[in-house]
Amino acid sequence: MNTGIPARKFLSTLILGAASVLFAGGLGVAPAMAAPAVAGLPDFTEMVEKAGPAVVNIRTTAKMRSGQNGAPGTDDEEMQEFFRRFFGIPMPRQPERAPRGNGKQQPQQEEEVPRGVGSGFIISVDGFIMTNAHVIDGADEVYVTLTDKREYKAKVIGADKRTDVALVKIEGGNLPRLPIGDSARLRAGEWVIAIGSPFGLDNTVTAGIVSTKARDTGDYLQLIQTDVAVNPGNSGGPLINMRGEVVGINSQIYSRSGGYMGISFAVPIDEAMRVVEQLKASGKVTRGRIGVQIGEVTKDVAESLGLSKAHGAQVQRVEPGSPAEKGGVETGDIILKYNGIAIERSSDLPRLVGNTRPGARAAITVWRKGASRELQLTIAEMESEKVAKKDDGKSKPERVANALGLLVTNLSEAQRRELSLESGVLVEAAEGAGARAGLRPGDVILRLNNTDIKDAGQFNALVAKLDPKKMAVLLVRRGDSSQFVPLRPNTQ
């Protein structure tokens, strides 16, 4: 019988086939056709039924006079914020009111106008609710709506912009709540769900996996990165694991269009709960500081300095009179350890220092001129953000960022000599428009538009007069170089 296969080729095929069977059998490997069936996707229904009632819709309003043209904030500025934080939905401008009667100006009256919506979740049966700081930022009133349509006016207990965590309270009893999980136990590839109010649609559920549990985005915290679909209005809602526990607060997305593009970020619940405990106690968060400006250690720098690998935080500047200066830290030092904990990336240091109680002693290990040294520092207190609680009129006013999102101070005489400058102001903190433009603490502002900056008072006065509809430009010095940075003022 002619099979169409030459005898020699047929024999070789037979031998190779037999060898393959023997080899597979010897290793206990089953043929491909006998592979086990792929497991089905997880069923979230029961978990959503239990968790859903504890997720709330948060809407905010602002008070404005009837003669004003619409809600606070311009569309352009809010769209810029949308690209970064973006989860609170900005409301459209209200139409300008025409004069009544004989055209005489009517007395202006305050009225509530919509400002935005977001999400939150109840963490205690007596009505404490966690959300994002940017959801309630700038709001005069905060309203919370439960899934059964009950609505409450909420009291803002406190907010922390550095972690984007806020705590509000409603007066209620025996409310549904979500159990708190452990974000440190998360693993990449683990299933998670998000529940919130995207575009104002209550109790919308989306699911995905954890992409990485410690994404460094340049903010104060490392965030949980997921591929869960989140959109405007999801902000402040819970990220929930398969045990029905909250492991994060949905806070940001990465987007080039303003819409969801497959990457979202959540604040780890472990850090959020630490913030919440302080907000409950005092309405603000107290953090430590040592007074250094730091940068990354590159591979080339590490090799040149004799380090075994690129790690640690490079000290670019030491603030005069700071704990770092008093403890012996010098410009050019590489901080390798903080209280025995290795600094792998420069961003590790601010988090470790920030979590240290002011007044406590801390040990740091620095690399200087080819050798390591042990230094002792006394931690100072980082300047507090504006307290969310009502002011009793007796306390001193908090220093807050201006309309460019910048908190600035005058240069000391020592700094002027060191930088060879006659004038300028030092950036202590950057948020909002300033942070989005890339400004950071340690930058020196030399000029606003065409005006040289002499001191902080003059700078803040000039900023207050800026037209929010027009771009401003700053001449900023960083290190030994200066460049112009365009940005648009925040609208208050």
- Report the catalytic residues: 134, 164, 235
The CA-CA-CA angle for residues 306, 319, 339, to 5°, reads: 55
- Cα–Cα distance measured from residue 132 to residue 121, given in angstroms and rounded to the nearest whole number: 10
The runs of H, that is alpha helices, within 225-376 are 269-282, 299-305, 323-327, 348-354
- Cα–Cα distance measured from residue 342 to residue 344, given in angstroms and rounded to the nearest whole number: 6
318-348 burial: b if 16+ Cβ within 10 Å, else e: bbeebbbbebbbeeebbbbbbeeeebeebbb
Q: Which H or E run includes 441?
A: none
| Contact (CB, 8 A) for 195 and 247 | no
| Contact (CB, 8 A) for 89 and 236 | no
Check residue 5 and report its DSSP letter: S
Those residues whose C-beta lies under 8 Å from the C-beta of residue 444, and which sit 6 or more positions away, are 411, 419, 421, 424, 425, 426, 427, 476, 477, 478
- Cα–Cα distance measured from residue 489 to residue 491, given in angstroms and rounded to the nearest whole number: 6
**DSSP letters of 405-459?**
SEEEEEPPHHHHHHHT-SS-EEEEEE-HHHHHTT--TT-EEEEETTEE---HHHH
Residue 96: Cβ within 10 Å count: 9
Annotated binding-site ranges for substrate? 134, 164, 233-235
SS3 of residue 485 by DSSP: strand
Instruction: Round to the nearest angstrom and report the end-to-end CA distance of the chain.
Output: 92
Check residue 210 and report its DSSP letter: E
